[in-house]
Amino acid sequence: MKGQMMHRPLKIADIITFAAANYPNGELVSVRTEGDIHRTTYRETAHRVAQLAHGLNKLGVNPGDRIATLAWNGYRHFELYYAISGIGAVCHTINPRLSAEQMIYIVNHAKDRILFCDTTFVPIIEKLRAHFPEDLRVVIMTDRAHMPETSLEGALCYEELLDGQPQEIDWPDFDENQAAGLCYTSGTTGNPKGTLFSHRSTLLHAFTLCITIPKVLQEGTRILPVVPLFHVNAWGLPYAAPLSGASLIFPGGALDGKSLFDLLDTEKVFSAWGVPTVWLGLMNEINQRGRLPDGFGDVVIGGSAAPRTLIEAFETKGVNVCHAWGMTEMSPLGTQCNLPPDMADLPQEQRIDRKQSQGRGVFGVEMKIVDDAGNRMPHDGVSQGHLYVRGNTITSGYFEDPEASTPVFDRDGWFCTGDIAVIDPQGFLKITDRSKDLIKSGGEWISSLDLENIVMSHPDVANCAVIAVPDPKWDERPLLVVVPREDAQPQEDDLLALLADRLAKWQVPDEIVFVEQLPLTATGKVSKLTLRKQHAEGGL
C-alpha cells in the first residue's frame, strides 16, 4: 500500500526560490576579480539567476548539456550553479589547478558546450582553446568595462548575457534524478573520472549538512567557504547555506593567511571551511596578530587529515574544530567530528584525540569495513579493513567510464573508498592507511602511478617509485625514488622538467632520491611500505 502524499521532484532551483522568499536579506559577499567587494542578497540573487537562466536559454542550452565553469568563489559562480541546473543542464566545475593535459581531457570528455571563466583564467583558456571542442563558446565573467583583451574569438560578456532579461522565471519540471552537476576527480590512476550528481542527491546532501552541522547552518550565521566551488561544490555549502538562511562570504582568489584574516575580521565570519594547508597559513597570521578575527568561532577542516597541532591550536584559542571526511564520489560528506554532549567535558587531550579521528557517519551514509576476502569486520575500534560506503548521495558509477566504474563496487553495490580504516562502537571512523598508493597534497590527489609512468619513459631510468612523505605545510608531498640504468646518470633537473611538461606544478615531486635498487615484496613487486618506512620523516 502506497502513502497518499503529493510527490514533487526535489530540484536545486527551489532552494534559491525558497531562500529569496524566506531569507530575503541573507547575504552573498564576494571579493571580485575586478578588485572590489560585492554585496547582494538572496532575493536579489534569485532575480539575477532568473536572468541568467533566460540568457542560457537564448544561447540554445538544452537539458543535459554540460556547461563548464572555471572560476573562483564568488556571486557569479554561485548564480551559475542555480541557473544551469535550474533549466535542466549540468554544471561542470573545473579545477584550475589541473594540468593542461587533464583539463583538455575533461572538457572533451564532458563535451562541454559553454565555458564560463573568471578574468584570471582567460590566459589559460587562450592557450588551450585549440584543444577544446570546436563549437565551445566562452563567456568571461565580468562586465563590459572590465572585459580583457583576448584572442578568444566570439567571447561573450557575462553581464551582457543578463542585460534586459526578465527577473522572474517559471522553472521547468523534470525528474529529480536528472543530472545537475559534474565534478571530475583524479583520485585514482589514469584519466580523471567524472562524478555526476543529480538534483535528488544534491538536495539530500544539503538536508544532511543542515541537520549535521546545525550550530553553523542557521539563519544569520556568516560562513566563509575557502574550499573552492570547483572542489566538490564547496562541500555542498552553496546549497545548504541558502536552505538554512546562512550568509556566504566568498574570498575570490585571495587565500593567503593575511587576506583571509582581514576578510574574516571585517565581515565577522563565524565559520570557515577548507583544507588544512589554508588553516596553517591563517594560524600563522593569528599568532602574528595575537588575536582571532572578530566573531570567528568555528572551522571545518576536510580534504585531507588535519594535523593534531592544528586542531589543538584552534581549540585552545576557543575555535571549535569540526574534522570532516568525504570524497567527490560521496557529494562529498561522509563523516564529521563535532563531539557529542557526553564528550564535551573530556580533558583537552582526550577531546583532541577524538577530534583527530574522522568522526561519526552522517545520515544516509552507510559504512562497512571488510577484510581482503570481502568479509565484514566488526566495528570494535581495533579491527581494520577496507572502507566501503553506500547511500543516496554516493555515486553509482563514473560518468561514461564503465572501465573505471566496475572495480570500485562490490557485488552488493557498495563503493570502495580506497581507504583502510577502523570504526569504533560509538561510530567514530579513523582512516589508518590507503589501499592505493595515492598522495593527498593540500587536499588534492596526486597519482603515484601517473608520475611513475612518465618517469619510466626517460631512457636513463631503470625503475622508479613514488611515495607520499610527510610535509608540515601540505600534509603530504610526493617523493620520487629512482634507480638509474647501468652506466647512466639521469639528471634531477631533466626528470623534473619531464614531469612538469605533463603535470600541474603542484603534482611534481619536490625532490628525487637516487638508489641502486628498490625494495621488493615476496612476489617481486616494489614494496612501497618499506619505502615509506625508510622515508617516514619526510624527504631525504
Distances (CA, A) of 346 to 93, 99, 341, 352, 399: 42, 46, 10, 9, 45
Please, which residues have CB within 8 angstroms of residue 487's CB and are 6 or more apart in sequence? Answer: none
Grid cell locating 289: 596578530
Report d(CA 216, CA 398) in Å as an integer: 32
Q: Which residues participate in catalysis according to the annotation?
A: 185, 329, 440, 445
| Grid cell at residue 132 | 577544446
Closest by Cα among 333, 331, 247, 243 to 11: 243
Cis peptide before 9 (omega within 30 of 0): no
DSSP letters, 221-241, are -EEEE-S-TTTHHHHTHHHHH
CB crowding 422-435: b at 16 or more within 10 Å, else e: bbeeeebbbbeebe
Residue 272 contacts residue 50 (beta carbons within 8 Å): no
Torsion angle, alpha carbons of 215, 220, 224, 229, to 10: 90
Amino acid at 138: V
Q: What is the C-alpha to C-alpha distance for residues 270 and 216, in angstroms, rounded to an integer?
A: 8
Residue type at 285 in one-letter notation:
E
In degrees, to the nearest 5, what angle opens at C-alpha 448 toward C-alphas 500 and 513?
Answer: 70
Residue 252 is given by DSSP the state: B
Cβ–Cβ under 8 Å, residues 231 and 437: no
Collapse the DSSP code of 69 into the 3-class scheme (helix H, G, I; strand E, B; otherwise coil) and give the result.
strand
Dist. CA 429–CA 230, nearest whole Å: 26
CA dist 499 and 455 (Å) reads: 7
